[in-house]
Structures are given as C-alpha cells and as structure tokens.
C-alpha cells in the first residue's frame, strides 16, 4: 500500500522521479491496475486471505493533477480491465487517459454491444490482440475459444479462418479500428501456440520464460506488418 498522505506532503516527488525515469526508457507508460490509483482494497497484514479488508481511496485527482502540471504531455494509459467502478472512469475522463480494449474478450454472446468489439471503440483507446496475461491468439482459438466464440469471430471477419490465419486477422481488426494505438504481443505477430504464452495468472511456475530470438524476425514478417501498418494509416509520416 502506498502512503499517499506522505507522498502528498512531498508533492509526489518519488512518483515524479519514477515517471521521468520511465519516460527516458519508453515512449508510453501503461499504469497497471489503474483502479488502485483511485481506490484499492486494503487488507490487514495478519490476514491469511483478502476477504477481510476495506476500500481505501487514493488522492487520484490531486496526484494526477500534480503529475500533469510537472509533465504536461504525460503519455500514459490506464489498464482498466475487469470490474471498474464509475469513479475510475471519472478520473480517466477527467485527464483524458486512454483505456484498454482486448480483442480476445470481444466474441461473447453480446458481441454486437460488447465494449471490446472494434465497431464499439472510440478513438482514445489502446487495442491489443491479447496481453501478457492471456493466451496467444492461436492458443486461444485452438484450446480456449468455444465453438460459438469461433463462429462469432468468423462471422465478424466474414470468412472461416484456419489456425494459421487467425492471428493476422485479429491484428488486422486492431489496426483498422479507430483506436489511437494498437499493440500486439510478439507471440501473436509470430502466430505462436499456447506454449509461447507469457503468463498464466494464479500460477507460480513456468511463467515469463518465453524469449524472442533474432531469427524469428524474418524479412517477410517485417514486410507484412509494414504493409498493414501503412494500409491502415498507422505508419509514421
């Protein structure tokens, strides 16, 4: 738990230094578990489960207001997946922080109105095929997607897809969406199966072991991604 009262007394100097250092390393910063910057579930240290706790508010408006005053063009976006309460969206809207859309979650029985379906996006979002916590696209289609989810996906793209084609079609859906930013795990660009999955939430072994090797970045892969990036207006001017 952050001691927000102490941090506030220093005008969040530790956070300002931390964000500045990250900006020296990365183009954009995703704040994971963004809802914790608005309120988080506090559990006494002697509890063995998370059942007995309470929601504790954080000074979100003051904190982000201070950051924005120090770093006016702060290129951050919010990981707002899962159950998000209205106060979290209020903070995101107040500071115009983009939220996240994950295509693997879109093909439920409420596809026409699902917030992760591309036709429902606004511009101020970041779209992913999947994240470090999901299966790869190929692994999802082969081992996790229900027959109905596969049927909805095929209907959405207008044709049936083989397991070797599906990752490129989800990449295409992301690129052609109006979302401001599109991000793909390398495993999806390479069309890898579930054995290349990065992380399995709730498990403690076998995670974060996949590594990219130079020979996997083939000229044909680079050309295909470049052509799609240009086609959908996402190439640098």
The catalytic site residues sit at: 32, 79, 133
| Cα–Cα distance, 121 to 123 (Å, whole number) | 7
DSSP per residue, 16-85: HHHHHHHHTT-S-EEETTGGGGTEEEE--TT-SSSSS-EEEE--HHHHHHHHHHHSTT--EEE---SS--
Q: What is the rounded radius of gyration, in angstroms, for the C-alpha atoms of the chain?
A: 20
Q: What is the DSSP letter of 136?
A: P
| Cα–Cα distance, 178 to 118 (Å, whole number) | 8
> Are the CB atoms for 198 and 208 separated by under 8 Å?
yes
| Cα–Cα distance, 14 to 28 (Å, whole number) | 19
């Amino acid at each position: 738990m952050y001691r927000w009262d102490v941090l506030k007394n220093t005008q969040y100097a530790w956070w300002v230094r931390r964000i500045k250092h990250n900006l020296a390393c990365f183009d954009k910063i995703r704040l994971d578990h963004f809802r914790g910057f608005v309120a988080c579930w506090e559990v006494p240290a002697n509890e063995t489960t998370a059942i007995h706790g309470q929601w504790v508010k954080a000074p979100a408006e003051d904190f982000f207001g201070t950051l924005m005053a120090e770093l006016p063009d702060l290129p951050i976006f919010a990981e707002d997946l899962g159950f998000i309460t209205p106060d979290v969206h209020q903070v995101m809207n107040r500071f115009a922080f983009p939220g996240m859309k994950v295509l693997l979650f879109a093909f439920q029985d409420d596809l026409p109105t699902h917030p992760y379906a591309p036709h429902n996006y606004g511009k101020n979002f970041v779209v992913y095929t999947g994240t470090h916590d999901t299966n790869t696209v190929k692994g999802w289609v082969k081992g996790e997607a229900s027959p109905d989810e596969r049927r909805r996906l095929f209907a959405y793209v207008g044709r049936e897809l083989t397991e070797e084609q599906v990752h490129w079609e989800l990449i295409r859906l992301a690129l052609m969406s109006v979302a401001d930013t599109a991000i793909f795990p390398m495993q999806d660009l390479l069309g890898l199966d579930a054995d290349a999955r990065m992380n399995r939430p709730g498990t403690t072994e076998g995670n974060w072991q996949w590594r990219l090797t130079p020979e996997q970045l083939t000229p044909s892969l680079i050309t295909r991604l470049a052509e799609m990036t240009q086609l959908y207006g996402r190439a640098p001017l």
